[in-house]
Amino acid sequence: MTFSAVIVAAGAGVRAGAGGAKQWRRLAGKPVARWSVEAMIAAGASEIVVVIGEGQAAESEAALAGLPLWRAVPGGARRSQSVQAGLAALDAPDDRIVLIHDAARPLLRREHVRRLLAALERAPAAILALPLADTLKRDDGSGSIAATPPRAGLWRAQTPQAFRLGALRAARAAWPADEEPTDDAMVVERAGGAVALAPGDPLLFKLTYPEDFAMAEALAGQARTLRVGQGLDAHRFCEGDAVMLCGVRIPHTAGLEGHSDADAGLQALTDALLGAIGEGDIGDHFPPGDPQWAGADSGRFLEHAARLVTARGGRILNVDVTLVCERPRIKPHREAMRVRVAELLGLETEAVSVKATTMEGMGFTGRGEGLAAQAVAMVELPA
Protein backbone atom coordinates (compact mmCIF):
# COMPACT_ATOMS: atom_id res chain seq x y z
CA MET A 1 0.00 0.00 0.00
CA THR A 2 1.52 3.31 -1.13
CA PHE A 3 1.95 6.02 1.48
CA SER A 4 3.78 9.27 2.04
CA ALA A 5 5.46 10.26 5.31
CA VAL A 6 6.02 13.52 7.15
CA ILE A 7 8.68 13.32 9.86
CA VAL A 8 8.69 16.27 12.23
CA ALA A 9 12.27 17.09 13.23
CA ALA A 10 12.14 20.83 13.80
CA GLY A 11 12.29 21.10 17.59
CA ALA A 12 15.11 22.46 19.73
CA GLY A 13 14.86 19.64 22.30
CA VAL A 14 15.68 21.87 25.26
CA ARG A 15 14.37 19.41 27.87
CA ALA A 16 16.70 16.70 26.54
CA GLY A 17 19.71 18.48 28.05
CA ALA A 18 23.03 19.50 26.55
CA GLY A 19 24.22 18.16 23.24
CA GLY A 20 22.23 20.04 20.64
CA ALA A 21 18.81 19.32 19.14
CA LYS A 22 17.92 15.76 20.11
CA GLN A 23 16.89 14.68 16.60
CA TRP A 24 20.47 15.12 15.35
CA ARG A 25 22.23 13.51 18.32
CA ARG A 26 23.51 9.98 17.95
CA LEU A 27 21.65 6.94 19.21
CA ALA A 28 23.51 3.61 18.95
CA GLY A 29 25.89 5.21 16.47
CA LYS A 30 23.30 6.90 14.23
CA PRO A 31 21.52 10.26 14.33
CA VAL A 32 18.11 9.98 15.99
CA ALA A 33 16.19 11.23 12.94
CA ARG A 34 17.90 8.70 10.67
CA TRP A 35 16.25 5.84 12.56
CA SER A 36 12.78 7.02 11.57
CA VAL A 37 13.67 7.81 7.95
CA GLU A 38 15.25 4.37 7.52
CA ALA A 39 12.20 2.70 9.05
CA MET A 40 9.82 4.56 6.73
CA ILE A 41 11.93 3.55 3.73
CA ALA A 42 11.92 -0.08 4.86
CA ALA A 43 8.14 0.04 5.36
CA GLY A 44 7.57 1.17 1.77
CA ALA A 45 7.15 4.96 1.85
CA SER A 46 7.02 6.51 -1.62
CA GLU A 47 8.15 9.95 -0.41
CA ILE A 48 9.38 11.33 2.88
CA VAL A 49 9.28 14.97 3.91
CA VAL A 50 11.52 15.78 6.87
CA VAL A 51 10.51 19.04 8.54
CA ILE A 52 13.54 20.75 10.06
CA GLY A 53 14.17 23.81 12.20
CA GLU A 54 15.81 27.05 11.20
CA GLY A 55 19.51 26.63 10.55
CA GLN A 56 19.36 22.81 10.61
CA ALA A 57 19.87 22.14 6.90
CA ALA A 58 23.50 21.10 7.26
CA GLU A 59 22.71 18.83 10.20
CA SER A 60 19.90 17.12 8.33
CA GLU A 61 22.06 16.59 5.23
CA ALA A 62 24.82 15.02 7.31
CA ALA A 63 22.44 12.89 9.39
CA LEU A 64 20.51 11.49 6.42
CA ALA A 65 23.32 11.28 3.86
CA GLY A 66 22.96 8.41 1.41
CA LEU A 67 19.28 7.72 2.09
CA PRO A 68 16.82 7.97 -0.82
CA LEU A 69 13.28 9.39 -1.08
CA TRP A 70 13.58 12.18 1.50
CA ARG A 71 13.69 15.93 1.21
CA ALA A 72 13.81 18.61 3.87
CA VAL A 73 11.48 21.58 4.30
CA PRO A 74 11.62 24.31 6.96
CA GLY A 75 9.14 24.07 9.83
CA GLY A 76 7.54 26.57 12.15
CA ALA A 77 7.79 27.69 15.75
CA ARG A 78 5.04 25.25 16.81
CA ARG A 79 4.59 21.58 15.98
CA SER A 80 1.29 22.17 14.19
CA GLN A 81 3.00 24.71 11.93
CA SER A 82 5.72 22.20 11.12
CA VAL A 83 3.15 19.53 10.29
CA GLN A 84 1.34 21.99 8.03
CA ALA A 85 4.62 22.76 6.24
CA GLY A 86 5.23 19.05 5.73
CA LEU A 87 1.75 18.43 4.37
CA ALA A 88 2.05 21.38 2.00
CA ALA A 89 5.25 19.91 0.57
CA LEU A 90 3.63 16.58 -0.33
CA ASP A 91 3.00 16.00 -4.01
CA ALA A 92 0.03 13.71 -3.44
CA PRO A 93 -3.72 13.53 -4.15
CA ASP A 94 -6.40 13.63 -1.44
CA ASP A 95 -6.79 9.84 -1.39
CA ARG A 96 -3.10 9.29 -0.59
CA ILE A 97 -2.26 7.86 2.82
CA VAL A 98 0.10 10.02 4.86
CA LEU A 99 1.88 9.03 8.07
CA ILE A 100 2.94 11.80 10.44
CA HIS A 101 5.71 10.87 12.83
CA ASP A 102 7.88 12.58 15.43
CA ALA A 103 11.60 12.06 14.85
CA ALA A 104 11.94 11.98 18.65
CA ARG A 105 10.38 8.47 18.58
CA PRO A 106 13.29 6.68 16.86
CA LEU A 107 12.52 3.01 17.52
CA LEU A 108 9.96 2.78 14.73
CA ARG A 109 9.55 -0.60 13.02
CA ARG A 110 7.84 -1.84 9.86
CA GLU A 111 5.34 -3.71 12.02
CA HIS A 112 4.10 -0.43 13.49
CA VAL A 113 3.40 0.90 10.00
CA ARG A 114 1.62 -2.31 9.01
CA ARG A 115 -0.68 -2.01 12.02
CA LEU A 116 -1.56 1.56 11.12
CA LEU A 117 -2.27 0.78 7.48
CA ALA A 118 -4.52 -2.10 8.50
CA ALA A 119 -6.44 0.12 10.95
CA LEU A 120 -6.85 2.80 8.27
CA GLU A 121 -9.04 0.42 6.27
CA ARG A 122 -11.88 1.01 8.74
CA ALA A 123 -11.54 4.77 9.36
CA PRO A 124 -10.12 7.90 7.71
CA ALA A 125 -7.51 8.17 10.46
CA ALA A 126 -5.65 5.77 12.75
CA ILE A 127 -3.15 6.07 15.59
CA LEU A 128 -0.87 3.81 17.56
CA ALA A 129 -1.84 3.83 21.22
CA LEU A 130 -1.25 2.00 24.49
CA PRO A 131 -3.88 1.48 27.21
CA LEU A 132 -3.02 3.19 30.47
CA ALA A 133 -1.58 0.83 33.05
CA ASP A 134 -0.76 3.30 35.83
CA THR A 135 -3.17 4.89 38.27
CA LEU A 136 -3.83 8.53 37.41
CA LYS A 137 -3.77 11.41 39.89
CA ARG A 138 -4.89 15.01 39.49
CA ASP A 139 -3.21 17.61 41.66
CA ASP A 140 -4.84 20.62 43.26
CA GLY A 141 -2.20 23.07 42.06
CA SER A 142 -0.38 23.18 45.38
CA GLY A 143 1.35 19.78 45.35
CA SER A 144 -1.42 17.63 46.81
CA ILE A 145 -3.73 15.10 45.20
CA ALA A 146 -7.16 16.43 44.39
CA ALA A 147 -8.66 13.40 42.65
CA THR A 148 -8.00 9.93 41.19
CA PRO A 149 -9.63 9.84 37.76
CA PRO A 150 -10.70 6.45 36.40
CA ARG A 151 -8.31 5.12 33.77
CA ALA A 152 -10.79 2.81 32.01
CA GLY A 153 -10.98 3.64 28.32
CA LEU A 154 -7.93 5.93 28.39
CA TRP A 155 -5.05 5.47 25.95
CA ARG A 156 -1.57 6.92 25.47
CA ALA A 157 -1.27 8.20 21.89
CA GLN A 158 1.94 7.59 19.96
CA THR A 159 3.22 8.41 16.50
CA PRO A 160 3.21 7.72 13.63
CA GLN A 161 -0.42 8.58 13.02
CA ALA A 162 -2.04 7.75 9.67
CA PHE A 163 -4.58 9.68 7.65
CA ARG A 164 -6.24 9.93 4.30
CA LEU A 165 -4.64 13.16 3.15
CA GLY A 166 -7.88 14.80 2.02
CA ALA A 167 -9.61 14.16 5.36
CA LEU A 168 -6.68 15.65 7.27
CA ARG A 169 -6.44 18.68 5.01
CA ALA A 170 -10.16 19.40 5.45
CA ALA A 171 -9.96 18.96 9.22
CA ARG A 172 -6.97 21.28 9.52
CA ALA A 173 -8.74 23.93 7.47
CA ALA A 174 -11.58 23.88 10.02
CA TRP A 175 -9.32 24.00 13.10
CA PRO A 176 -9.55 27.26 15.14
CA ALA A 177 -6.52 29.45 14.50
CA ASP A 178 -6.18 30.39 18.18
CA GLU A 179 -5.87 26.79 19.44
CA GLU A 180 -2.90 24.42 19.32
CA PRO A 181 -3.66 20.70 18.85
CA THR A 182 -1.54 18.30 20.88
CA ASP A 183 -1.56 15.73 18.08
CA ASP A 184 -2.93 15.39 14.56
CA ALA A 185 -5.64 12.86 15.42
CA MET A 186 -7.20 15.52 17.63
CA VAL A 187 -7.75 17.68 14.56
CA VAL A 188 -9.69 14.94 12.77
CA GLU A 189 -11.68 14.18 15.95
CA ARG A 190 -12.75 17.82 16.25
CA ALA A 191 -13.97 17.74 12.64
CA GLY A 192 -16.13 14.69 13.41
CA GLY A 193 -13.94 12.10 11.73
CA ALA A 194 -13.46 8.61 13.15
CA VAL A 195 -10.00 7.66 14.39
CA ALA A 196 -9.15 3.97 14.70
CA LEU A 197 -6.87 2.61 17.42
CA ALA A 198 -3.99 0.32 16.50
CA PRO A 199 -1.82 -1.48 19.08
CA GLY A 200 1.11 0.68 20.09
CA ASP A 201 4.49 -0.41 21.42
CA PRO A 202 6.31 0.61 24.63
CA LEU A 203 9.53 0.71 22.57
CA LEU A 204 8.08 3.58 20.58
CA PHE A 205 8.55 6.06 23.41
CA LYS A 206 9.51 9.67 22.92
CA LEU A 207 12.95 11.03 23.72
CA THR A 208 12.19 13.97 26.00
CA TYR A 209 14.61 14.01 28.94
CA PRO A 210 18.33 13.14 29.21
CA GLU A 211 17.59 9.79 30.89
CA ASP A 212 15.47 8.75 27.90
CA PHE A 213 18.61 8.49 25.78
CA ALA A 214 20.13 5.92 28.15
CA MET A 215 16.99 3.79 27.90
CA ALA A 216 16.87 4.12 24.12
CA GLU A 217 20.52 3.04 23.84
CA ALA A 218 19.70 -0.11 25.78
CA LEU A 219 16.69 -0.87 23.56
CA ALA A 220 18.05 0.17 20.17
CA GLY A 221 19.29 -3.30 19.30
CA GLN A 222 15.75 -4.66 19.48
CA ALA A 223 14.70 -2.33 16.65
CA ARG A 224 17.30 -3.71 14.21
CA THR A 225 18.04 -7.12 12.78
CA LEU A 226 21.23 -8.65 11.39
CA ARG A 227 21.28 -10.41 8.03
CA VAL A 228 24.13 -12.40 6.49
CA GLY A 229 24.63 -13.02 2.76
CA GLN A 230 27.20 -15.07 0.90
CA GLY A 231 28.44 -15.04 -2.67
CA LEU A 232 30.57 -17.28 -4.88
CA ASP A 233 32.10 -16.48 -8.26
CA ALA A 234 34.66 -18.15 -10.56
CA HIS A 235 36.33 -17.27 -13.90
CA ARG A 236 38.59 -19.09 -16.34
CA PHE A 237 42.00 -17.76 -17.23
CA CYS A 238 42.40 -16.51 -20.80
CA GLU A 239 44.96 -14.62 -22.84
CA GLY A 240 46.05 -11.42 -21.16
CA ASP A 241 48.65 -9.78 -18.99
CA ALA A 242 46.68 -8.82 -15.87
CA VAL A 243 43.65 -9.70 -13.75
CA MET A 244 41.25 -7.50 -11.79
CA LEU A 245 40.64 -8.70 -8.24
CA CYS A 246 38.78 -6.70 -5.58
CA GLY A 247 39.14 -3.58 -7.68
CA VAL A 248 42.94 -3.85 -8.07
CA ARG A 249 44.76 -4.59 -11.33
CA ILE A 250 47.38 -7.28 -10.80
CA PRO A 251 49.96 -8.04 -13.50
CA HIS A 252 49.82 -11.73 -14.47
CA THR A 253 50.65 -14.14 -17.27
CA ALA A 254 46.95 -14.43 -18.13
CA GLY A 255 43.71 -12.52 -17.95
CA LEU A 256 40.25 -13.60 -16.76
CA GLU A 257 37.43 -14.51 -19.10
CA GLY A 258 34.13 -12.76 -18.51
CA HIS A 259 31.52 -10.45 -20.00
CA SER A 260 32.54 -7.64 -17.61
CA ASP A 261 36.00 -7.16 -16.14
CA ALA A 262 35.66 -10.63 -14.53
CA ASP A 263 36.56 -9.36 -11.05
CA ALA A 264 35.58 -12.45 -9.11
CA GLY A 265 36.17 -10.81 -5.74
CA LEU A 266 33.82 -7.86 -6.30
CA GLN A 267 31.23 -10.01 -8.04
CA ALA A 268 31.13 -12.52 -5.21
CA LEU A 269 30.80 -9.64 -2.75
CA THR A 270 27.98 -8.12 -4.83
CA ASP A 271 26.09 -11.41 -4.59
CA ALA A 272 26.71 -11.53 -0.84
CA LEU A 273 25.10 -8.11 -0.36
CA LEU A 274 22.18 -8.94 -2.62
CA GLY A 275 21.68 -12.19 -0.72
CA ALA A 276 21.65 -10.42 2.63
CA ILE A 277 18.67 -8.31 1.56
CA GLY A 278 16.91 -10.95 -0.53
CA GLU A 279 17.41 -9.15 -3.86
CA GLY A 280 18.36 -12.08 -6.10
CA ASP A 281 21.81 -12.31 -7.66
CA ILE A 282 24.11 -10.25 -9.83
CA GLY A 283 22.70 -11.73 -13.04
CA ASP A 284 19.22 -10.43 -12.17
CA HIS A 285 20.51 -6.88 -12.00
CA PHE A 286 23.24 -7.02 -14.67
CA PRO A 287 22.34 -9.72 -17.25
CA PRO A 288 25.55 -11.19 -18.73
CA GLY A 289 24.16 -11.00 -22.27
CA ASP A 290 23.46 -7.27 -22.07
CA PRO A 291 26.05 -5.43 -24.25
CA GLN A 292 26.07 -2.38 -21.95
CA TRP A 293 27.94 -4.41 -19.34
CA ALA A 294 30.66 -5.63 -21.71
CA GLY A 295 33.97 -4.94 -20.00
CA ALA A 296 32.21 -3.06 -17.18
CA ASP A 297 34.00 -2.25 -13.95
CA SER A 298 32.61 -4.62 -11.30
CA GLY A 299 32.86 -1.76 -8.83
CA ARG A 300 29.66 -0.43 -10.43
CA PHE A 301 27.90 -3.68 -9.57
CA LEU A 302 29.07 -3.52 -5.98
CA GLU A 303 28.03 0.13 -5.57
CA HIS A 304 24.57 -0.75 -6.94
CA ALA A 305 24.17 -3.51 -4.34
CA ALA A 306 25.30 -1.12 -1.59
CA ARG A 307 22.70 1.45 -2.71
CA LEU A 308 20.00 -1.20 -2.49
CA VAL A 309 21.04 -1.92 1.10
CA THR A 310 20.82 1.79 1.91
CA ALA A 311 17.43 2.06 0.19
CA ARG A 312 16.13 -0.62 2.56
CA GLY A 313 17.27 1.49 5.51
CA GLY A 314 20.18 -0.88 6.03
CA ARG A 315 23.83 -0.53 6.90
CA ILE A 316 26.73 -2.73 5.85
CA LEU A 317 28.63 -3.77 8.97
CA ASN A 318 31.52 -5.78 7.54
CA VAL A 319 32.53 -7.89 4.55
CA ASP A 320 34.95 -10.79 4.13
CA VAL A 321 36.35 -12.00 0.78
CA THR A 322 38.41 -15.16 0.23
CA LEU A 323 40.24 -15.50 -3.08
CA VAL A 324 41.08 -19.07 -4.19
CA CYS A 325 43.99 -19.39 -6.63
CA GLU A 326 47.49 -20.78 -7.03
CA ARG A 327 48.57 -17.68 -8.93
CA PRO A 328 48.83 -14.68 -8.92
CA ARG A 329 50.05 -14.07 -5.41
CA ILE A 330 47.47 -12.08 -3.49
CA LYS A 331 49.30 -11.02 -0.34
CA PRO A 332 51.32 -8.17 -1.92
CA HIS A 333 48.05 -6.58 -3.11
CA ARG A 334 45.79 -7.40 -0.20
CA GLU A 335 45.91 -4.02 1.55
CA ALA A 336 45.21 -2.17 -1.70
CA MET A 337 42.21 -4.45 -2.20
CA ARG A 338 40.90 -3.72 1.27
CA VAL A 339 41.22 0.02 0.69
CA ARG A 340 39.43 -0.16 -2.67
CA VAL A 341 36.53 -2.26 -1.33
CA ALA A 342 36.20 0.10 1.65
CA GLU A 343 36.02 3.07 -0.75
CA LEU A 344 33.31 1.41 -2.86
CA LEU A 345 31.18 0.55 0.18
CA GLY A 346 31.84 3.62 2.30
CA LEU A 347 33.33 1.52 5.10
CA GLU A 348 36.33 1.84 7.33
CA THR A 349 39.17 -0.39 6.11
CA GLU A 350 39.02 -2.40 9.33
CA ALA A 351 35.51 -3.55 8.32
CA VAL A 352 36.90 -5.17 5.15
CA SER A 353 38.76 -8.46 5.12
CA VAL A 354 40.49 -9.93 2.06
CA LYS A 355 42.18 -13.32 2.34
CA ALA A 356 43.65 -15.82 -0.08
CA THR A 357 44.11 -19.57 -0.11
CA THR A 358 45.08 -22.33 -2.53
CA MET A 359 43.54 -25.75 -3.21
CA GLU A 360 46.91 -27.50 -2.88
CA GLY A 361 46.93 -28.39 -6.57
CA MET A 362 43.42 -29.87 -6.54
CA GLY A 363 40.50 -28.92 -8.77
CA PHE A 364 40.32 -26.29 -11.51
CA THR A 365 42.03 -23.62 -9.38
CA GLY A 366 44.75 -26.07 -8.39
CA ARG A 367 45.39 -26.92 -12.03
CA GLY A 368 45.66 -23.22 -12.85
CA GLU A 369 42.61 -23.19 -15.11
CA GLY A 370 41.03 -20.24 -13.30
CA LEU A 371 40.32 -18.75 -9.92
CA ALA A 372 37.36 -18.38 -7.56
CA ALA A 373 36.18 -16.03 -4.83
CA GLN A 374 33.87 -16.47 -1.89
CA ALA A 375 32.40 -13.55 0.06
CA VAL A 376 30.33 -13.00 3.17
CA ALA A 377 28.60 -9.75 4.15
CA MET A 378 26.81 -8.76 7.33
CA VAL A 379 24.07 -6.16 7.02
CA GLU A 380 21.97 -4.43 9.65
CA LEU A 381 18.34 -3.78 8.62
CA PRO A 382 15.25 -2.34 10.27
CA ALA A 383 13.38 -5.13 12.05
CATH of residue 34: 3.90.550.10
Whether residue 215 is contained in a domain is answered as no
Do 189 and 253 reside in the same domain of the chain?
no
What pLDDT does residue 354 have? 98
**Class of residue 281 by CB neighbours under 10 A (exposed 0-12, middle 13-18, buried 19+):** middle
| Residue 219, in any domain of the structure | no
CA-wise closest residue to 346 among 65, 93, 92:
65
Instruction: Note whether residue 217 is domain-resident.
Output: no
In tens, the pLDDT along 190-233 reads: 999 999 999 999 999 999 888 998 899 888 866 678 999 999 99
Q: Based on the fold, state whether residues 158 and 292 are members of the same structural domain.
A: no
- Total domains present in the chain: 2
Residues 236 and 159 in one domain: no
Q: Are residues 265 and 178 in the same domain?
A: no
Does residue 15 surpass a pLDDT of 70? no
Q: Report the alpha-carbon distance of residue 240 to residue 95 in Å, rounded.
A: 60
pLDDT on residue 11: 78
Q: How far is CA 365 from CA 103, 310, 360, in A?
A: 53, 35, 9
Q: Does 138 reside within a domain?
A: yes
147 and 197 share a domain?
yes
163/235 same-domain check: no
For residue 214, is it within any domain?
no
Mean pLDDT of 176-185: 92
Same domain, 120 and 244: no
Answer with the one of 208, 241, 268 that is the final residue of a domain: 208
Q: Is residue 203 part of a domain?
A: yes
Residue 21's pLDDT is what? 86
Residue 135 DSSP symbol: P
Are residue 188 and residue 82 in the same domain, yes or no?
yes
Q: What is the mean pLDDT of the chain?
A: 93
118-169 residue pLDDT tens: 999 999 999 999 999 899 999 999 999 999 999 999 999 999 999 999 999 9
245 and 188 within one domain: no
- Strands (E) in 189-289, as ranges, are 195-199, 224-238, 242-245, 248-251, 255-256
pLDDT at 255 over 60: yes
Higher pLDDT, 69 or 383: 69
pLDDT (0 to 100) of residue 17: 59
My answer on whether 168 and 299 are in the same domain is no
Is 216 part of a structural domain of the chain? no
Of 181, 208, 235, the position where a domain reaches its end is: 208
Instruction: Enter the pTM of the model.
Output: 0.73
Give dist(CA 25, CA 220) in Å, integer. Answer: 14
92 and 144 housed in the same domain: yes
CATH number for the domain spanning 340: value is: 3.30.1330.50
Q: How far apart are CA 5 and CA 3, in angstroms?
A: 7
285 and 141 in a common domain: no
Statement: residue 178 has pLDDT above 70: yes
pLDDT (tens digit, 9 = 90+) per residue, 259-298? Answer: 999 999 999 999 999 999 999 999 999 998 889 999 999 9
- Residue 317 belongs to domain spanning: 224-382
Supply the DSSP string of 338-369, one letter for each residue: HHHHHHHHT--GGGEEEEEE--TT-HHHHTTS
Closest by Cα among 122, 199, 113, 123 to 156 = 199
Estimate the crossing angle of helix 334-345 against helix 264-276, to 10 degrees. 40
**Residue at which a domain ends, from 174, 208, 242:** 208
Give a yes or no: residue 362 inside a domain. yes
Residues 62-73, mean pLDDT to the nearest whole number: 94
| Position 177 confidence tier, pLDDT thresholds 50, 70, 90 | confident
